[in-house]
Amino acid sequence: MTGPAPAPRYQLRLAHLYPDVMNIYGDRGNVLALRYRCQVRGIELKVTDVNVGDPFDPAAFDLVLMGGGQDREQRRIAEDLVAKGPAIRAAVDDGLPALVVCGGFQLWGHRYVDHEGGVIPGISVFDLETRHPGPRADRCIGDVVLSTGAGDVVGFENHGGRTYLGPGQEPFGRVRRGFGNNAEDGTEGARRGNAIGTYLHGSLLPKNPAITDELLLAALRRRYGADVELPPLDDAAEQAAHRSAEAIAARRSRGAD
């Protein structure tokens, strides 16, 4: 008779913000990627959905995710997110790893002026502002390749808003193919500590295992100490998906190189 399975050595607590509202273009796939890369390493990942009106103490979590949404969805959750903002900012300043995508990314800045000129308040984790140029403007749509500190990153963008970083705000990456934050200055996304904001759907993490592992390692070391290491995994499938997305983006007419 076999005994109970040994308790996993490491456990991580993931807060998924507004999963039913802010989940456009399959951003939920980011949770699946984190769960898979924990599971195969014997790390227990506990996912908690945080919806409008739910209590949320970011200090009780090791990772936060938030997906994208159209202007209407952003308006639906903005007031609740603003109420949660001060605690989120404090946790990010304490090194909390986070990944926020597109509409979620925009609301982790100061504000988003939507396609009707309405102002949706953000939580100022990132020093940035987003402005939609109006309903007649083209949307920024297509496959993207970035150069980032973690290597090339691929994904898919579909946003009307144009994001402008404050003077000291670090971008997530530089655009090689695609529009990025505003189709003008070559920046994409934003970083503050271990928090990453980006326009890249795809979803992002299944095609970019280095980013998935960067978030996981930051969470593990923040909770269990700096000497934690992540054993490498066979990334053949992820790298094949990465190369495929990169090839599609390379066919885009627009891009820096």
* Interaction between residue 26 and ligand GLN (CB under 6 A): no
For ligand GLN, the closer CB: 148 or 163: 163
Structure tokens at 152: 């090339």
What pairing do the DSSP bridges indicate for beta strands 187-188 and 151-159?
unpaired
Candidates 158, 191, 217, 221: give the one binding ligand GLN (CB under 6 A).
158
* Interaction between residue 155 and ligand GLN (CB under 6 A): no
* Interaction between residue 143 and ligand GLN (CB under 6 A): no
Provide the minimum distance between the beta carbon of 3 and ligand GLN in the complex, in angstroms, as a whole number.
47
- Of 38, 102, 132, 159, the catalytic one is 102
- What single-letter DSSP state applies at residue 201? B
Provide the minimum distance between the beta carbon of 161 and ligand GLN in the complex, in angstroms, as a whole number.
3
* Interaction between residue 70 and ligand GLN (CB under 6 A): yes
158 in Cβ contact with 139 (< 8 Å): yes
* Interaction between residue 142 and ligand GLN (CB under 6 A): no
Q: Give first-to-last CA distance, the chain, whole Å.
A: 62
* Interaction between residue 164 and ligand GLN (CB under 6 A): no
User: In terms of DSSP H, where are the helices of 64-176?
Assistant: 71-93, 103-107
10 in Cβ contact with 228 (< 8 Å): yes
Is residue 132 annotated as a catalytic residue, yes or no?
A: no
* Interaction between residue 69 and ligand GLN (CB under 6 A): yes
From residue 73, how far is each of 65, 102, 107, 114, 149 by CA, in Å?
A: 16, 12, 11, 12, 31
> Interface with ligand GLN by CB under 6 A: which range of 55-63, 100-108, 166-174, 230-238?
100-108
- Which residue's CB comes closest to ligand GLN? 68
* Interaction between residue 102 and ligand GLN (CB under 6 A): yes
Give CA–CA dist 54/50, Å, rounded: 6
93 in Cβ contact with 193 (< 8 Å): yes
How many residues in total does the chain contain? 257
Provide the minimum distance between the beta carbon of 73 and ligand GLN in the complex, in angstroms, as a whole number.
8
Is residue 16 annotated as a catalytic residue, yes or no?
A: no
For ligand GLN, the closer CB: 61 or 105: 105
- Of 16, 159, 201, 242, the catalytic one is 201
Give CA–CA dist 110/102, Å, rounded: 14
Q: Kindly list the residues in this chain that would bind ligand GLN in the complex (CB under 6 A).
A: 24, 68-71, 74, 102-103, 106, 158-161
